[in-house]
Amino acid sequence: MGTPLIAIIDRYVITRFLWNFLALFGALYVFGVAVDVIISTSKFIEAADIAVREGRASTRWIGFALMLLDFHGPRIFQFFQFMLGMVSVGAMGFTFAQMHRARELTALMAAGVNLRRPAAALLAAAAALNVVQLANQEWILPRLAPKLVRMHSDLVANRGTAFPVPLTRDANGRLLQADAFDPTTDQLRGLVVLERDERGRARSRTSADSATWDAQREMWMLVNGKQIQLPGAAGASGNANGGFEQPAASVSTNLGPESLLTRRFRLYGQMLSTPQLLELRDGGGGDRTVASRLLASRLFGPLVNLLVLVAAVPFFLLREPCSLLQQSLRAAAFAVPVTITALTLTTVPVAGLPAVLAAALPAAVLLPVAAWRISAMRS
């Protein structure tokens, strides 16, 4: 008789937790979108008018809805990635508060069920959500990243995802510049590459009308590429007014699409998959530390989410009657600062601390705290 009862309890707790998670997540996401729409209404209306003029929408309202869906639709996956930990704590609070108010926890204890049993079922559901977060991180966000780094002005200007690339240094000291880079096609327009000697003086200048990234060979394949050996460079010929010009088919550099996007948009690094981050780290240059920090956050981030949840469970899973509002405030006062601190340590450089150590520090501190909290809970 015990096993069917426990299975029913597990299903009940997991179902209620997931419904609360979806409701809270949806409410927060809709609230965030509503605030953004109120602030940027003029931008969306301008973009809708452009869509109507170009024939992409029949009316302004349809164009407005299309622009809203195009801009905020992909962001639901980004919102899930960043808010999973906090929303899980909130959903846990709602779940056990509802059970506490309905005297269901009292019924469980009267049936001889340890209160750690519903906590274990809820934590198992939260762990499954972290697995979904991992899948979202590795397969969905990298494909949506070019859309996620857009701003409202990009909708109005109808620029899509393209942006100019300023002078950017690669791992070998070359300087790369482009009029525009479109991450959806991995194509550069108006490319200029300056190769320099050990003293920083330009030796050659390579230009092309456009260039497409070849990931296997890690080089930009040029269209109408030309290379000029500048006067004064070793091996250069020509007079003082110009050097020798020759065709150029490619430029080898570690500045691939992911590296260019990461340097322009700091948050873009959070949207790369683990293989892309490993490639970025092994490519050298200024991205190595950033990539190492992001990789460490992938390892310890889900663990921190679960440890914060474990430590917050005793705020709501109580034997005696209590003020749920007071317990909610205590849980928020604990979970919010801890989550923000952990996020800061895994995304912002900390002076004197290696990236891996900074990312592991929140988990190392939370592990004994969570173990003490759940073991001291009266069940």
CA–CA separation, 378 vs 363, rounded Å? Answer: 24
User: What is the distance between the alpha carbons of residues 324 and 10, in angstroms, rounded to a whole number?
Assistant: 23
pLDDT at 160: 60
Strands 187-196 and 175-182: antiparallel
265 Cβ contact partners less than 8 Å away, ≥ 6 residues apart: 149
Task: Identify whether the C-beta of residue 144 lies closer than 8 Å to the C-beta of residue 77.
Answer: yes
Identify the helix (H) or strand (E) that includes residue 202: strand 202-214
Region of 320 please: left (phi>0), alpha (psi -120 to 50) or beta.
Answer: beta
Is the Cβ–Cβ distance between 87 and 12 less than 8 Å?
Answer: no
Q: Is the dihedral of CA 280, 286, 289, 294 positive or negative?
A: negative
Q: Quick one: pLDDT at residue 159? A: 59
| pTM tops 0.75, yes or no | yes
Residue 148 pLDDT: 87
Written as tens digits, the pLDDT of the chain (379 aa) is: 456 778 889 999 999 999 999 999 999 999 999 999 999 999 999 999 988 998 989 999 999 999 999 999 999 999 999 999 999 999 999 999 999 889 899 889 888 889 999 999 999 999 999 999 999 999 999 888 878 888 887 777 665 667 888 888 888 889 999 999 988 788 999 999 999 888 778 889 999 999 999 988 889 999 999 999 877 555 444 444 456 789 999 999 988 887 887 777 666 777 888 887 777 677 554 456 777 788 888 889 999 999 999 999 999 998 887 888 899 999 999 999 999 888 887 777 777 778 788 888 899 999 999 999 999 888 7
Residues 6+ apart with CB under 8 A from 119: 313, 317, 374, 377
Q: Determine the pLDDT at residue 236.
A: 47
What are the residue boundaries of the structural domains of the chain, listed by start? Answer: 2-39+74-153+291-375, 172-253
Q: Which residues, 6+ apart, have CB-to-CB distance to 193 below 8 Å?
A: 174, 175, 176, 177, 205, 206, 207, 251, 253
Q: How far apart are CA 112 and CA 176, in angstroms?
A: 69
Q: How crowded is the C-beta side of 356, counted as CA atoms within 13 Å?
A: 2
Q: What is the CA radius of gyration of the chain?
A: 27
Q: What region, left, alpha or beta, does residue 310 occupy, with left being phi > 0 and alpha being psi -120 to 50 degrees?
A: alpha
Which residues, other chains included, contact 213 with Cβ-Cβ below 8 Å and sequence gap of 6+?
186, 187, 219, 220, 221, 256, 257
